A and B are shown apart, each in its own frame.
Chain A
Amino acid sequence: MFEEVKAILAKQLRRDPSQITLQSDIKKDLGADSLDILQLLMRMEDDYGIVIPDQELAGFKTVGDVVAFLDKQPKQ
Protein backbone atom coordinates (compact mmCIF):
# COMPACT_ATOMS: atom_id res chain seq x y z
CA MET A 1 0.00 0.00 0.00
CA PHE A 2 2.83 2.38 0.87
CA GLU A 3 4.32 1.96 -2.59
CA GLU A 4 0.99 2.84 -4.23
CA VAL A 5 0.52 5.93 -2.09
CA LYS A 6 4.12 6.93 -2.70
CA ALA A 7 3.75 6.60 -6.46
CA ILE A 8 0.60 8.73 -6.48
CA LEU A 9 2.13 11.41 -4.26
CA ALA A 10 5.34 11.50 -6.28
CA LYS A 11 3.43 12.04 -9.51
CA GLN A 12 0.94 14.50 -8.06
CA LEU A 13 3.46 16.61 -6.16
CA ARG A 14 6.28 16.09 -8.68
CA ARG A 15 8.58 14.71 -6.01
CA ASP A 16 11.35 12.16 -6.22
CA PRO A 17 9.81 8.96 -4.77
CA SER A 18 12.93 8.42 -2.68
CA GLN A 19 12.05 11.56 -0.70
CA ILE A 20 8.74 10.07 0.44
CA THR A 21 8.70 7.96 3.60
CA LEU A 22 5.99 6.81 5.98
CA GLN A 23 7.06 9.57 8.35
CA SER A 24 6.89 12.34 5.73
CA ASP A 25 4.58 15.15 6.77
CA ILE A 26 2.41 15.67 3.68
CA LYS A 27 2.27 19.44 4.10
CA LYS A 28 5.56 20.34 5.75
CA ASP A 29 7.91 17.83 4.11
CA LEU A 30 6.27 17.32 0.75
CA GLY A 31 4.98 20.85 0.22
CA ALA A 32 1.34 19.88 -0.28
CA ASP A 33 -1.53 22.20 0.55
CA SER A 34 -5.10 21.31 1.53
CA LEU A 35 -6.18 20.93 -2.09
CA ASP A 36 -3.32 18.53 -2.80
CA ILE A 37 -4.40 16.36 0.14
CA LEU A 38 -8.01 16.35 -1.06
CA GLN A 39 -6.80 15.35 -4.50
CA LEU A 40 -4.82 12.46 -3.03
CA LEU A 41 -7.77 11.26 -0.96
CA MET A 42 -10.17 11.52 -3.90
CA ARG A 43 -7.77 9.40 -5.88
CA MET A 44 -7.82 6.82 -3.08
CA GLU A 45 -11.60 6.88 -2.98
CA ASP A 46 -11.78 6.30 -6.74
CA ASP A 47 -9.13 3.59 -6.82
CA TYR A 48 -10.36 1.65 -3.78
CA GLY A 49 -14.10 2.26 -4.15
CA ILE A 50 -14.38 3.73 -0.66
CA VAL A 51 -15.82 6.92 0.81
CA ILE A 52 -13.56 8.47 3.42
CA PRO A 53 -15.71 9.93 6.24
CA ASP A 54 -15.56 13.72 6.49
CA GLN A 55 -14.24 13.56 10.05
CA GLU A 56 -11.25 11.52 8.83
CA LEU A 57 -10.34 13.97 6.08
CA ALA A 58 -8.67 16.49 8.39
CA GLY A 59 -6.79 13.81 10.32
CA PHE A 60 -4.24 12.80 7.73
CA LYS A 61 -0.92 14.40 8.59
CA THR A 62 1.76 11.98 7.47
CA VAL A 63 2.01 9.51 4.61
CA GLY A 64 1.83 6.80 7.28
CA ASP A 65 -1.60 8.09 8.42
CA VAL A 66 -2.97 7.62 4.90
CA VAL A 67 -1.40 4.17 4.49
CA ALA A 68 -2.70 3.02 7.89
CA PHE A 69 -6.22 4.16 7.02
CA LEU A 70 -6.19 2.41 3.66
CA ASP A 71 -4.78 -0.78 5.17
CA LYS A 72 -7.86 -0.95 7.41
CA GLN A 73 -10.29 -0.77 4.48
CA PRO A 74 -11.86 -4.01 3.24
CA LYS A 75 -10.41 -5.11 -0.10
CA GLN A 76 -12.69 -4.29 -3.07
Chain B
Amino acid sequence: MIKIIVDCFGGDHSPQANVQGALAALVQFPDLHLILSGDEEAIKAQLAGNEYDASRIDILHAPQVIGCDERPTDVIRLKRESSMIKAIRLLRDDDSVAAMVSTGSTGALVAAALTRIGRLRGIIRPAFCPILPTMSGGIVGVCDSGANVEVTADHLRQFAIMSSLYMENVYGIYKPRVALLNVGKEPEKGDELRQTAYRLLGETPEINFVGNMESRDLLSGNYDVVVADGFSGNVLVKSTEGAALELLGKLKKDIYSKFIYKVGAALMAKMFKEEKEFMNYQNYGGSVLLGTSKVIVKGHGSSKAVSVQKCIEQAYKMQLSELGAKTEEVICRYEHYEL
Protein backbone atom coordinates (compact mmCIF):
# COMPACT_ATOMS: atom_id res chain seq x y z
CA MET B 1 0.00 0.00 0.00
CA ILE B 2 1.41 3.39 -1.01
CA LYS B 3 -0.17 6.39 0.68
CA ILE B 4 -0.08 9.76 -1.09
CA ILE B 5 -1.56 13.06 0.02
CA VAL B 6 -3.11 15.34 -2.62
CA ASP B 7 -3.43 19.06 -1.95
CA CYS B 8 -6.82 19.68 -3.58
CA PHE B 9 -6.72 23.50 -3.60
CA GLY B 10 -4.63 26.30 -5.07
CA GLY B 11 -4.79 25.30 -8.75
CA ASP B 12 -6.83 26.95 -11.51
CA HIS B 13 -9.20 23.95 -11.70
CA SER B 14 -9.19 23.01 -8.02
CA PRO B 15 -10.75 21.11 -6.39
CA GLN B 16 -12.56 19.49 -9.33
CA ALA B 17 -9.44 18.52 -11.31
CA ASN B 18 -7.57 17.34 -8.21
CA VAL B 19 -10.40 15.13 -6.94
CA GLN B 20 -11.17 13.67 -10.37
CA GLY B 21 -7.47 13.04 -11.00
CA ALA B 22 -7.23 11.34 -7.63
CA LEU B 23 -10.17 9.07 -8.41
CA ALA B 24 -8.61 8.09 -11.75
CA ALA B 25 -5.32 7.27 -10.00
CA LEU B 26 -7.16 5.01 -7.55
CA VAL B 27 -8.43 2.98 -10.49
CA GLN B 28 -4.96 2.92 -12.06
CA PHE B 29 -3.15 1.65 -8.94
CA PRO B 30 -5.04 -0.89 -6.81
CA ASP B 31 -2.59 -0.56 -3.88
CA LEU B 32 -2.84 3.22 -3.73
CA HIS B 33 -4.37 5.02 -0.75
CA LEU B 34 -5.06 8.75 -1.04
CA ILE B 35 -5.56 11.54 1.46
CA LEU B 36 -7.30 14.59 0.01
CA SER B 37 -6.38 17.85 1.71
CA GLY B 38 -8.70 20.84 1.66
CA ASP B 39 -12.17 22.03 2.55
CA GLU B 40 -14.01 18.85 3.52
CA GLU B 41 -17.41 19.89 2.23
CA ALA B 42 -16.03 21.00 -1.13
CA ILE B 43 -14.11 17.73 -1.53
CA LYS B 44 -17.14 15.66 -0.55
CA ALA B 45 -19.20 17.56 -3.11
CA GLN B 46 -16.68 16.62 -5.80
CA LEU B 47 -16.60 13.00 -4.69
CA ALA B 48 -20.41 12.72 -4.70
CA GLY B 49 -21.80 10.83 -7.64
CA ASN B 50 -18.57 8.97 -8.36
CA GLU B 51 -18.06 5.28 -7.80
CA TYR B 52 -14.95 4.59 -5.73
CA ASP B 53 -13.63 2.53 -2.84
CA ALA B 54 -14.22 4.86 0.11
CA SER B 55 -11.86 2.82 2.29
CA ARG B 56 -8.97 4.01 0.12
CA ILE B 57 -9.66 7.73 0.52
CA ASP B 58 -9.34 9.94 3.59
CA ILE B 59 -10.03 13.66 3.82
CA LEU B 60 -7.77 16.03 5.74
CA HIS B 61 -9.92 19.06 6.45
CA ALA B 62 -8.10 22.35 5.79
CA PRO B 63 -10.23 25.48 5.51
CA GLN B 64 -7.58 27.88 4.18
CA VAL B 65 -6.16 28.20 0.67
CA ILE B 66 -2.78 29.68 -0.29
CA GLY B 67 -3.04 32.04 -3.25
CA CYS B 68 -0.32 32.32 -5.88
CA ASP B 69 0.04 36.04 -5.18
CA GLU B 70 0.88 35.54 -1.50
CA ARG B 71 4.43 35.82 -0.19
CA PRO B 72 5.70 32.25 0.32
CA THR B 73 7.84 32.97 3.38
CA ASP B 74 4.84 34.51 5.13
CA VAL B 75 2.13 32.03 4.22
CA ILE B 76 4.09 28.92 5.11
CA ARG B 77 4.25 30.19 8.69
CA LEU B 78 0.95 31.97 9.02
CA LYS B 79 -1.48 29.86 6.99
CA ARG B 80 -1.10 26.68 8.99
CA GLU B 81 -4.71 25.68 8.30
CA SER B 82 -4.25 25.81 4.52
CA SER B 83 -4.58 22.68 2.39
CA MET B 84 -0.91 22.84 1.39
CA ILE B 85 0.62 23.38 4.82
CA LYS B 86 -1.61 20.83 6.53
CA ALA B 87 -0.70 18.34 3.80
CA ILE B 88 3.00 18.97 4.13
CA ARG B 89 2.86 18.71 7.91
CA LEU B 90 1.11 15.37 7.66
CA LEU B 91 3.72 14.25 5.13
CA ARG B 92 6.42 15.18 7.64
CA ASP B 93 4.77 13.71 10.72
CA ASP B 94 3.17 10.50 9.43
CA ASP B 95 5.73 7.89 8.40
CA SER B 96 3.06 5.96 6.50
CA VAL B 97 2.50 8.85 4.06
CA ALA B 98 5.01 8.52 1.23
CA ALA B 99 4.42 11.45 -1.06
CA MET B 100 2.54 14.66 -1.77
CA VAL B 101 1.08 16.17 -4.93
CA SER B 102 0.11 19.83 -5.22
CA THR B 103 -1.01 22.20 -7.97
CA GLY B 104 -0.76 25.23 -5.68
CA SER B 105 1.77 28.04 -5.37
CA THR B 106 5.24 26.89 -6.44
CA GLY B 107 7.06 29.32 -4.17
CA ALA B 108 5.06 28.30 -1.12
CA LEU B 109 5.52 24.62 -1.91
CA VAL B 110 9.31 24.94 -2.26
CA ALA B 111 9.58 27.00 0.93
CA ALA B 112 7.32 24.64 2.86
CA ALA B 113 9.14 21.56 1.56
CA LEU B 114 12.60 22.89 2.40
CA THR B 115 11.65 24.04 5.88
CA ARG B 116 9.32 21.20 6.89
CA ILE B 117 10.26 18.07 4.96
CA GLY B 118 14.01 18.43 4.80
CA ARG B 119 16.50 16.89 2.44
CA LEU B 120 17.96 13.51 1.70
CA ARG B 121 21.29 12.95 3.39
CA GLY B 122 24.06 14.73 1.52
CA ILE B 123 21.78 16.87 -0.61
CA ILE B 124 22.72 20.54 -0.48
CA ARG B 125 19.77 21.92 -2.45
CA PRO B 126 16.72 20.09 -3.80
CA ALA B 127 15.87 20.90 -7.43
CA PHE B 128 12.89 20.80 -9.76
CA CYS B 129 12.91 18.45 -12.73
CA PRO B 130 10.01 18.84 -15.19
CA ILE B 131 9.66 16.55 -18.21
CA LEU B 132 9.18 17.70 -21.81
CA PRO B 133 8.45 15.66 -24.95
CA THR B 134 11.20 15.50 -27.58
CA MET B 135 10.91 15.46 -31.35
CA SER B 136 12.10 11.87 -31.48
CA GLY B 137 9.12 10.75 -29.42
CA GLY B 138 10.98 10.49 -26.13
CA ILE B 139 11.24 12.78 -23.14
CA VAL B 140 13.84 15.06 -21.60
CA GLY B 141 14.15 16.34 -18.03
CA VAL B 142 15.48 19.76 -17.04
CA CYS B 143 17.09 20.00 -13.60
CA ASP B 144 16.97 22.57 -12.03
CA SER B 145 14.07 24.56 -13.45
CA GLY B 146 13.54 27.11 -10.72
CA ALA B 147 14.24 26.04 -7.15
CA ASN B 148 17.80 27.46 -7.01
CA VAL B 149 18.72 30.71 -8.72
CA GLU B 150 22.34 30.72 -7.59
CA VAL B 151 24.32 27.49 -7.67
CA THR B 152 27.85 26.10 -7.48
CA ALA B 153 29.39 23.45 -9.70
CA ASP B 154 28.91 20.98 -6.87
CA HIS B 155 25.18 21.76 -6.83
CA LEU B 156 25.06 21.11 -10.58
CA ARG B 157 26.74 17.75 -10.09
CA GLN B 158 24.12 16.83 -7.48
CA PHE B 159 21.36 17.92 -9.88
CA ALA B 160 22.90 15.68 -12.54
CA ILE B 161 23.07 12.65 -10.24
CA MET B 162 19.55 13.14 -8.87
CA SER B 163 17.91 13.68 -12.25
CA SER B 164 19.83 10.88 -13.93
CA LEU B 165 18.66 8.43 -11.26
CA TYR B 166 15.13 9.79 -11.61
CA MET B 167 15.03 9.24 -15.39
CA GLU B 168 16.48 5.76 -15.00
CA ASN B 169 14.32 4.56 -12.12
CA VAL B 170 11.01 6.23 -12.90
CA TYR B 171 11.06 6.32 -16.73
CA GLY B 172 13.22 3.25 -17.35
CA ILE B 173 15.82 5.10 -19.45
CA TYR B 174 19.04 3.09 -19.49
CA LYS B 175 22.12 5.22 -18.76
CA PRO B 176 20.40 8.58 -19.32
CA ARG B 177 22.44 10.98 -21.47
CA VAL B 178 23.21 13.98 -19.25
CA ALA B 179 24.05 17.36 -20.76
CA LEU B 180 25.03 20.70 -19.25
CA LEU B 181 23.12 23.76 -20.49
CA ASN B 182 25.66 26.18 -21.93
CA VAL B 183 26.14 28.77 -24.66
CA GLY B 184 28.18 26.42 -26.83
CA LYS B 185 29.14 22.78 -27.08
CA GLU B 186 32.90 23.06 -26.55
CA PRO B 187 34.23 22.36 -23.01
CA GLU B 188 35.78 25.82 -22.68
CA LYS B 189 32.49 27.61 -23.43
CA GLY B 190 30.59 29.56 -20.81
CA ASP B 191 31.58 31.18 -17.55
CA GLU B 192 33.80 29.72 -14.82
CA LEU B 193 30.84 27.97 -13.19
CA ARG B 194 29.94 26.13 -16.39
CA GLN B 195 33.58 25.24 -17.14
CA THR B 196 34.10 23.84 -13.63
CA ALA B 197 30.80 21.97 -13.78
CA TYR B 198 31.78 20.49 -17.14
CA ARG B 199 34.94 19.09 -15.57
CA LEU B 200 33.13 17.76 -12.49
CA LEU B 201 30.40 16.09 -14.50
CA GLY B 202 33.03 14.41 -16.65
CA GLU B 203 34.68 13.07 -13.48
CA THR B 204 31.45 11.54 -12.16
CA PRO B 205 31.24 7.90 -13.25
CA GLU B 206 27.69 7.47 -11.93
CA ILE B 207 26.31 9.60 -14.77
CA ASN B 208 26.56 9.34 -18.54
CA PHE B 209 27.75 12.89 -19.23
CA VAL B 210 27.67 13.69 -22.95
CA GLY B 211 28.84 17.32 -22.84
CA ASN B 212 27.37 20.78 -23.23
CA MET B 213 24.00 21.42 -24.82
CA GLU B 214 22.81 24.60 -26.48
CA SER B 215 19.24 25.62 -25.67
CA ARG B 216 18.02 25.12 -29.24
CA ASP B 217 18.77 21.39 -28.95
CA LEU B 218 16.59 20.73 -25.90
CA LEU B 219 13.91 18.85 -27.84
CA SER B 220 16.28 17.19 -30.30
CA GLY B 221 16.03 13.81 -28.62
CA ASN B 222 19.81 13.68 -28.19
CA TYR B 223 19.63 14.18 -24.42
CA ASP B 224 17.68 12.63 -21.55
CA VAL B 225 18.60 15.12 -18.82
CA VAL B 226 19.76 18.73 -19.04
CA VAL B 227 21.45 20.22 -16.00
CA ALA B 228 21.15 23.94 -15.34
CA ASP B 229 21.00 26.54 -12.62
CA GLY B 230 17.39 27.24 -11.64
CA PHE B 231 17.24 30.61 -13.37
CA SER B 232 18.56 29.40 -16.74
CA GLY B 233 16.58 26.17 -16.52
CA ASN B 234 13.36 28.04 -15.87
CA VAL B 235 14.00 30.36 -18.83
CA LEU B 236 14.84 27.35 -21.00
CA VAL B 237 11.64 25.46 -20.18
CA LYS B 238 9.32 28.45 -20.45
CA SER B 239 10.83 29.83 -23.66
CA THR B 240 10.64 26.38 -25.26
CA GLU B 241 6.99 25.96 -24.23
CA GLY B 242 6.24 29.50 -25.34
CA ALA B 243 7.87 29.06 -28.75
CA ALA B 244 5.95 25.82 -29.34
CA LEU B 245 2.64 27.40 -28.37
CA GLU B 246 3.26 30.49 -30.52
CA LEU B 247 4.19 28.33 -33.49
CA LEU B 248 1.07 26.21 -33.12
CA GLY B 249 -1.03 29.36 -32.80
CA LYS B 250 0.42 30.83 -35.99
CA LEU B 251 -0.03 27.55 -37.82
CA LYS B 252 -3.69 27.46 -36.82
CA LYS B 253 -4.21 31.08 -37.84
CA ASP B 254 -2.56 30.50 -41.23
CA ILE B 255 -4.64 27.39 -41.88
CA TYR B 256 -7.86 29.35 -41.36
CA SER B 257 -6.64 32.17 -43.64
CA LYS B 258 -7.29 30.34 -46.96
CA PHE B 259 -9.84 27.81 -48.10
CA ILE B 260 -7.24 25.57 -49.76
CA TYR B 261 -5.24 25.45 -46.54
CA LYS B 262 -8.36 24.37 -44.67
CA VAL B 263 -8.88 21.53 -47.14
CA GLY B 264 -5.28 20.43 -46.66
CA ALA B 265 -5.62 20.64 -42.89
CA ALA B 266 -8.82 18.59 -42.99
CA LEU B 267 -6.93 15.84 -44.80
CA MET B 268 -4.24 16.00 -42.11
CA ALA B 269 -6.66 16.33 -39.19
CA LYS B 270 -5.66 13.02 -37.60
CA MET B 271 -1.98 13.93 -37.68
CA PHE B 272 -2.65 17.37 -36.21
CA LYS B 273 -4.68 15.81 -33.40
CA GLU B 274 -1.92 13.33 -32.62
CA GLU B 275 0.71 16.07 -32.60
CA LYS B 276 -1.42 18.25 -30.35
CA GLU B 277 -1.85 15.39 -27.92
CA PHE B 278 1.88 14.62 -28.09
CA MET B 279 2.76 18.20 -27.18
CA ASN B 280 0.07 18.61 -24.53
CA TYR B 281 1.92 19.22 -21.26
CA GLN B 282 -1.06 17.89 -19.31
CA ASN B 283 -0.01 14.40 -20.40
CA TYR B 284 3.44 14.67 -18.84
CA GLY B 285 2.50 15.24 -15.22
CA GLY B 286 4.29 17.69 -13.02
CA SER B 287 7.69 18.81 -11.93
CA VAL B 288 9.18 16.62 -9.23
CA LEU B 289 11.22 18.19 -6.44
CA LEU B 290 14.29 15.97 -6.32
CA GLY B 291 16.36 15.71 -3.15
CA THR B 292 13.71 16.10 -0.47
CA SER B 293 13.44 13.35 2.12
CA LYS B 294 9.92 12.54 0.95
CA VAL B 295 8.49 12.63 -2.56
CA ILE B 296 6.92 15.91 -3.67
CA VAL B 297 5.39 16.52 -7.11
CA LYS B 298 4.29 19.98 -8.22
CA GLY B 299 1.62 19.99 -10.90
CA HIS B 300 1.11 22.94 -13.23
CA GLY B 301 -1.26 25.56 -11.82
CA SER B 302 -3.58 24.94 -14.77
CA SER B 303 -3.53 21.15 -14.29
CA LYS B 304 -6.66 19.29 -15.29
CA ALA B 305 -7.68 15.88 -13.96
CA VAL B 306 -5.44 13.97 -16.37
CA SER B 307 -2.42 15.99 -15.29
CA VAL B 308 -3.17 15.47 -11.58
CA GLN B 309 -3.48 11.74 -12.27
CA LYS B 310 -0.06 11.82 -13.99
CA CYS B 311 1.43 13.67 -11.02
CA ILE B 312 0.12 10.98 -8.67
CA GLU B 313 1.56 8.35 -11.03
CA GLN B 314 4.96 10.06 -10.87
CA ALA B 315 4.84 10.16 -7.07
CA TYR B 316 3.75 6.52 -6.92
CA LYS B 317 6.57 5.37 -9.20
CA MET B 318 9.17 7.43 -7.35
CA GLN B 319 8.17 5.82 -4.09
CA LEU B 320 7.96 2.35 -5.61
CA SER B 321 11.43 2.64 -7.13
CA GLU B 322 12.98 3.68 -3.80
CA LEU B 323 14.55 6.60 -5.61
CA GLY B 324 15.32 8.44 -2.37
CA ALA B 325 17.48 5.67 -0.93
CA LYS B 326 19.29 5.18 -4.24
CA THR B 327 19.95 8.91 -4.52
CA GLU B 328 21.32 9.11 -0.97
CA GLU B 329 23.62 6.20 -1.61
CA VAL B 330 25.26 7.87 -4.62
CA ILE B 331 25.21 11.45 -3.32
CA CYS B 332 26.92 10.56 -0.06
CA ARG B 333 30.02 9.50 -1.95
CA TYR B 334 30.44 13.21 -2.77
CA GLU B 335 28.96 14.65 0.41
CA HIS B 336 32.05 16.49 1.55
CA TYR B 337 33.11 17.76 -1.82
CA GLU B 338 33.01 21.55 -2.13
CA LEU B 339 33.88 23.70 -5.11
Residues of A within 8 A of B (CB): 12, 14, 33, 35-36, 38-39, 42-43, 45-46, 51
Contact = CB atoms under 8 A, between A and B. Distances in A.
B118 A12 contact: yes
Contacts of B116: 39, 42-43, 46
Given A45-B77, A46-B89, A35 B121 contact: no
5 contacts: A39-B116, A39-B118, A42-B77, A42-B115, A46-B80
Nearest to A37: B115
Q: Range of interface residues on chain B?
A: 10 to 19
Contacts of B77: 42, 45, 51
Contact of B78 (A42, A46, A51): A51
Nearest to B114: A35
For the residues of A in contact with B, the DSSP-based class is helix
A58 to B, nearest CB: 14
Contacts of A38: 114-115
B116 to A, nearest CB: 5
A34 B25 CA distance: 37
Query: Residue among B78, B118, B121 with the most chain A CB within 10 A?
Result: B118
B119 interface: yes
Interface in B103-128: 114-116, 118-119, 121, 124
A43 B112 CA distance: 11
A15 to B, nearest CB: 12
B89 A14 contact: no
A45 B114 CA distance: 15
Contacts of B78: 51
A46 B89 CA distance: 8
B109 to A, nearest CB: 14
